Structure 1
């Protein structure tokens, strides 16, 4: 699996703004190859619906057939990339690009809300309960400072993932990193 799929075309990014497609892609990235039927059962959707949306993800290059683990008559699909990225400045050159970026950011925030809501402390060890969570910071940085922060968090995450590979208590962890300047109206009031 490749590391990243860098998108430059708003039409391609729009393909994953559909909630079912985004969830399908997320499951293939997190859980590995699956058939439309397997994904349909996990998500409470018909295999016809998941099959259609998988073909759309395939058409736009997000997934591919998993020939190594073909399942008789039904196709197995796998994600082609660990994550999707885009350059917001370049993508925002058009109204369509600005719209699709907004939809993606809102979807990411909704997914974060769902994960927070589903986290049940009673199901996890004290170590996980102590470390899981979020923080909220306000820092004064120029765009270059925020860019450096984002790049360094990715470096740290790669380093920690490599260092802890194979640990006995390893779990998949969902991590969100974001930074936005405060709204001007908020600062002036």
Structure 2
């Protein structure tokens, strides 16, 4: 069964999701399927009590739910959607504040993933070190052009969606890669000098959890 996408619009739900562990837990459920709080704690290096609490909070906002267990003692959790999204263009001050809080939590999670990857990157095979890392590039575009560019990127990435839900579609030698997309405006409309870009052509970090937020 293909799970739907979920868009968060309620400020309470947006704030409820704005927690790094909740994002990691939800990503884990999407990546590996239903699991107990005990198993999730083992995967994430967290306490069982903490994972149990945050899984219940995810369920409170409709992001996770109980799944059938192998027996009466096993009580696994599962994700209710394959991706979570939210809009950043609301005129409601409460929604805007909540989305800013959620975006900050998302950025903190991305930063932690990148730092964890860099700590172990030296031990990765040469072929993977050559195509992973970070890069940046300045663009001079209108809001409409940036929206169109983002849509083209999304369409390109969607070509690999079937490999998420169907492991048999994954080719030999595959690794799970997280592509983290950031679109950051310059401080002034005129823009400033372009930052120095790294030589690495691909922005990618193998992460502990997939599609944590969007």
TM-score range, shorter chain: 0.7 to 0.9
Change (3 A) 1:123 1:78: farther
1:111 paired residue number: 109
CA distances 1:3-23 after superposition (whole Å, capped 9, x unpaired): 421111121111111232222
Please state which structure has a larger fraction of its residues in strand.
Answer: 1
Higher mean C-alpha displacement, 97-106 vs 4-13 = 97-106
Aligned mates of 2:43, 2:190 — CA distance in 1: 42
Give the RMSD, CA atoms, in angstroms.
Answer: 2.4
| Aligned residues of 1:66 and 1:76 also touching (Cα < 8 A) | yes
1:187 partner SS: coil
Please state which structure has a larger fraction of its residues in helix.
Answer: 1
2:72 paired residue number: 72
- Residues 36-185 of structure 1: matches in 2 within 5 Å? 36-67=37-68, 69-90=69-90, 93-119=91-117, 120-162=120-162, 165-184=169-188
Unmatched 5+ stretches in structure 1:
none
2:26 partner SS: helix
Change (3 A) 1:40 1:99: same
| Aligned residues of 2:64 and 2:79 also touching (Cα < 8 A) | yes
Aligned mates of 1:141, 1:187 — CA distance in 2: 11
Q: Which has the higher contact order (CA 8 A, sep 6+)?
A: 2
Aligned mates of 1:126, 1:75 — CA distance in 2: 42
Change (3 A) 1:39 1:128: same
TM-score, normalised to structure 2, is: 0.77
Unmatched 5+ stretches in structure 2:
194-214
| Aligned residues of 2:20 and 2:108 also touching (Cα < 8 A) | no
Change (3 A) 1:182 1:172: same
CA shift for structure 1 position 142: 1.0
Change (3 A) 1:121 1:41: closer
CA distances 1:13-49 after superposition (whole Å, capped 9, x unpaired): 1111123222211221223221011122333433233
